[in-house]
Amino acid sequence: MNDFPGAPAPASAAPAAPGRDGDRLRVLAAMSGGVDSAVAAARAAEAGHDVTGVHLALSANPQSFRTGARGCCTVEDARDARRAADVIGIPFYVWDLAERFRQDVVEDFVAEYEAGRTPNPCLRCNEKIKFAALLDKALALGFDAVCTGHYARVVRRPDGTRELHRAADAAKDQSYVLGVLDARQLAHALFPLGDTPTTKDEIRAEAEARGLAVARKPDSHDICFIADGDTQGFLARRLGTSEGAVVDEDGHRLGTHQGAYGFTVGQRRGLALGRPAPDGKPRYVLDISPVDNTVTVGPAASLDVTALTAIRPRWCGPAPTGPGTYTAQLRAHGAAAPVTAELADGELRVAFAEPVRGVAPGQAVVLYDGTRVVGSATIASTRRAAAVAR
C-alpha cells in the first residue's frame, strides 16, 4: 500500500517511522499538466490527505519547449495544471527549477551524447529533480510525501521499510524510470495510479467524471526540452557538426556523417551508407567512437550482448550481497531478460542467460526480483558474442 511517514523529516534524515494506515498526510502533488498527474492528485485528496499542487517550471523560456499537448514544460501545461488544481480544490503553486533542470538533466544529456553514450533524461529528471530537488524542498516545508502520476507501487514491509514494485497493470508500468530512487526517497513517494490495473481509457473516464479538462489531452511524447522533437538537430546546435566516417567491422569506409553524437547503438535508419551489405541485409550501428568521430556498422547478429558492466549503482533498499539471479530491463518499454548479477568493486556486473540486442553505454539497467525493483546502474561497457565490443 502507499502509506508514508506521519511527520515531516529534514532533507538529510533517514526515512521516518512509517505512518499507520489512514493517517492524514501533507502531500505535495507534482502536476505536469497531464491527465495522469491530475488524477493522481485527485485520488490523494479524495483519500483524505492534505494535498497541495505544484507545477515545475523547468525552462527559463517555456515557449522554447514543446507547445500544445505534447510536452510537460510549456505555459499551456502550467495553465492546465492550475485549472486541474482548482477543480480538485487544492492550493497550487509554480516552482522555478529551470536552472537545476538545465544543469542536471539538459547538460548531462548533451555531455552523454558527446561522449558516445545514450542517456535517458527521464531517469535523470526523476533522480535529480522530482525526487531530489523537489522532495528536499517539500520536506523542508513540512510535507510528508511527494505524489506523482507514475504507474508503480510502493509496498511497506512488516519492518516498516519500503519496496518499489511494478505497477499492477504491467502494460503501463513505469518502475524502470523510477529505479534510481533510494530507500529514503521511496519513504516519501506516493504513486496513486499504480495499485490497480486501470486502463488509460479508464483513467481518462475518471478524469472526465471528476470534471478535469485534461481528460482528453494527448499523452506527452519524446523529450520535453527538445522543442521540435529533432534530437539530432538539437545536439548539432549544441555540439556543432563534424564530418566523420561510417565504417564496417573491418574498417572499410561506407559513408560519412556530420557528428557521431547523432547515432545510438542498434540504430538502423538514417545511416546514409554508400553501398549495401554483401548479403543485402540491413546494417545497424554497433559502435560509436567520439575520439575519432567514427561510427561502426554491421549485421544484426553483431549486436548480441552476453554481459555488461554498469557504474554508479543506486539501490531501492539495501545493496545486494553476493551474486544473485534477477531479471533486467534495459529500456523503459523493453522486455525483462533473465540475468545473474553481482556487485564487485563498486560496479554492477551482469551476465545474460540469452544474448540481448540494442544495449548501449549510457542506458540504465534496472534489476528486478519478481515485481520488486532492486536498483539500477548506468551501463559503461558490454561484452558481445561477435567481434565488435565496447
In eight-state DSSP terms, residue 68 is T
Angle at 111 between CA 233 and CA 30, to 5 degrees: 85
Find all residues with CB under 8 Å of 58, minimum gap 6, and list them.
65, 73, 97, 98, 101, 105, 129, 224, 225
Cell of 256: 560519412
Q: Which three cell numbers stand for residue 217?
A: 489531452
Other C-beta atoms closer than 10 Å to the C-beta of 58 total: 26
Return the closest-CA partner of residue 116 out of 312, 263, 308, 266: 263
Is residue 296 within 8 Å of residue 287, measured between CB atoms? yes
The DSSP string of 112-133 is: HHHTT----HHHHHIIIIIIII
Beta strands in 128-185 (DSSP E): 145-147, 152-156, 162-166
The residue written with cell numbers 556530420 in the block is 258
Told to judge if 125 belongs to the known catalytic residues of this protein, a careful annotator would answer yes
316 carries an active-site annotation: no
Q: List the catalytic residue out of 72, 122, 147, 224.
A: 224
How far does CA 293 lie from the centroid of its chain? 28
Specify whether the CB–CB gap between 131 and 146 falls below 8 A: yes
- Asked if residue 126 lies in contact with residue 177, where contact means CB atoms within 8 angstroms, the answer is yes
Three-state secondary-structure class, residue 296: strand
Query: Considering 122, 125, 147, 316, which one is annotated as catalytic?
Result: 125
Give the residue carrying C-alpha cell 556543432. 240
Name the residues annotated as catalytic. Answer: 125, 224
